[in-house]
Amino acid sequence: MILVVSDVFDAHADLVCSQLNKAFFRLNLDIASLQNTSLSFDGEKWEIIFQDSKIKSTEISCIWFRRAFVELNSQEYELQNDIHFRLFKNEWNAILNGLWAYLKKIPALNPLKEAYAGENKFYQIMVAKEVGFQLPKMLVSNKKQQCINFLKQQKSIFKVFNQDFYLKNEKLKGIYTNIISQSDFDDFDARQNPILLQEYVSKSYEVRYTFVENKHFVCKIDSQQSKIANIDWRKYDLAHTPHEAIKPPEEIAMKVNLFSQQMGLKYGAIDFIVMPNNTWIFLEINCFGQWMWIETLSGLNISHAIASWLDSYN
């Protein structure tokens, strides 16, 4: 039986589950679902029950991790200071950590150890260089003068390693990629955390490159047609940002295969910049990356590839 780990709000999981031909059990890790979920472990085997569905650890043939632990969504953000919720969340996550350790030999999309290692940006950079991807110049530092010297050498952007959200005017906001100047360092000193500066690369267009094992789904994102998303397409101005399926250069496809193999990943969503001279620049990989909007706008059938991968292990 296929174990799908997600939450009740996940439209990606809805779409894939609707295409599965084999039996599956969906473990939703949102609060409301967990409050109605029974889990037991007798020292040898696990059993999970939700409503009329039940699964035993001995029945699991493969796992699809859309998420792996209890996290806050935007509607639950205010609960982070509630001691009862923190106890509930921490205990569930500790137990889930034990369950995933017990199931570590079961085929998974992606294996958790590799997926969480792959989320480390420094590790990504190391492997990307090893397989021959071109990368933008970068600096990580909290030395003010070193940062200013980097900015003097090239036009640069500021990025965060760990995307977090904050409440402003009762709305949840994120920190996105922005061009940065020397004047932005007027109040900066070494007490600040190290920050990531990256060379701004001129773009012809951007690419979201999704792979499901050896199947590649490559989408051109024409972000330069938008005045909102031209620096960071994650600001989402879809009405002015055309998306279309493209065929990647053979050299890039080969490097993606090698990159995924070295990272130990079965699934990934890689972001590239394509320069006006057609040079592909690797930016990062998201091991749990979203893809549904790519499928909707480009027609690339990523959901079918995921469902087929899961069915093949049942």
Kindly report the CATH number assigned to the domain that includes residue 207. Answer: 3.30.470.20
Residue 184 counted as domain residue: yes
**For 160-187, what is the mean pLDDT?**
66
Q: Do 120 and 241 have their domain in common?
A: yes
Band of the pLDDT at 158, cuts 50, 70, 90?
confident
As a whole number, mean pLDDT of residues 100-105 equals 96
Coil/strand/helix, residue 243: strand
Stretch (H or E) spanning 55: strand 53-56
Position 151 pLDDT exceeds 80: yes
- Is residue 44 in a domain? yes
Task: Please give the share of the chain, as a percent, with pLDDT higher than 90.
Answer: 71
The pLDDT value given to residue 166 = 47
- Map residue 38 onto helix, strand or coil: strand
More confident residue, 87 or 19: 19
For 194, what's the count of Cα atoms within 13 Å in the CB-facing half-sphere? 7
Residue 259 is which amino acid? F
- Diameter of the chain measured on Cα atoms: 63
Q: Which residue stretches of the chain are H helix?
A: 11-17, 31-34, 83-102, 112-118, 121-131, 144-153, 250-263, 292-298, 302-311
Q: Are residues 249 and 124 in the same domain?
A: yes
* Shared-domain flag, residues 93 and 42: yes
Could you report how far apart the first and last alpha carbons of the chain are, in Å?
6
Cβ atoms of 139 and 147 within 8 Å: the answer is yes
Lowest mean pLDDT among 75-84, 88-97, 166-175: 166-175
Domain's final residue, options 106, 127, 157:
106
Q: Shortest CA distance to 111 belongs to which of 279, 260, 224, 307?
A: 260
174 and 152 inside one domain: yes
User: Is 308 contained in some domain?
Assistant: no
Condensed to tens digits (0 to 9), the pLDDT of residues 19-65 reads 999 999 999 999 899 999 999 999 999 999 999 999 999 999 999 99
pLDDT per position as a tens digit, 290-304: 999 999 999 999 999
Q: What's the whole-number mean pLDDT along residues 87-93?
A: 93
Last residue of a domain, which of 199, 216, 239? Answer: 199
Q: Which residue type sits at 79?
A: L
Q: Specify the DSSP element, H or E, that contains 245.
A: strand 243-245
Tokens 């600096």, residue?
139
Q: What pLDDT does residue 231 have? A: 58
Number of domains in the chain: 3
Task: Based on the fold, state whether residues 230 and 130 are members of the same structural domain.
Answer: yes
Rounded-to-integer distance, Cα 60 and Cα 55, Å: 8
Shared-domain flag, residues 28 and 160: no
Mind listing the pLDDT tens digit for each residue in 243-290? 999 999 999 999 999 999 999 999 999 999 999 999 999 999 999 999
Tell me the average pLDDT across 101-128.
96
Give counts: helices (H), strands (E), the chain. 9, 18
Position 194 in a domain: yes
Residues 187 and 144 in one domain: yes
Q: Calculate the CA dihedral of residues 175, 180, 185, 187 and round it to 10 degrees.
A: -40
**Residue-level pLDDT at 235:** 55
- pLDDT at position 233 is 53
Model confidence at 313: pLDDT above 50: yes
Token pair, residue 270, equals 């890689």
Closest by CA position to 227, among listed 212, 217, 213, 237: 237
Q: CA 267, CA 110: separation in Å to the nearest integer? A: 6
Task: Please give the residue range of the domain that contains residue 152.
Answer: 138-199
In this structure, the answer to whether residues 130 and 254 fall within a common structural domain is yes
Average pLDDT for residues 77-95, to the nearest whole number?
A: 83
What's the alpha-carbon Rg for the chain, to the nearest Å? 21
Residue 292 lies in a domain: yes
User: Does one domain contain both 231 and 162?
Assistant: no
Question: Does residue 111 belong to any structural domain of this protein?
Answer: no
Whether residue 15 contacts residue 294, with contact meaning beta carbons closer than 8 Å, is answered with no
Integer Cα distance of 16 and 131 in angstroms: 31
Q: Are residues 286 and 208 in the same domain?
A: yes
Do 192 and 207 lie in one domain? The reply is no
Mark whether 295 and 253 lie in a shared domain.
yes
pLDDT at 182: 84
Q: Is residue 310 a part of any domain in this protein?
A: no
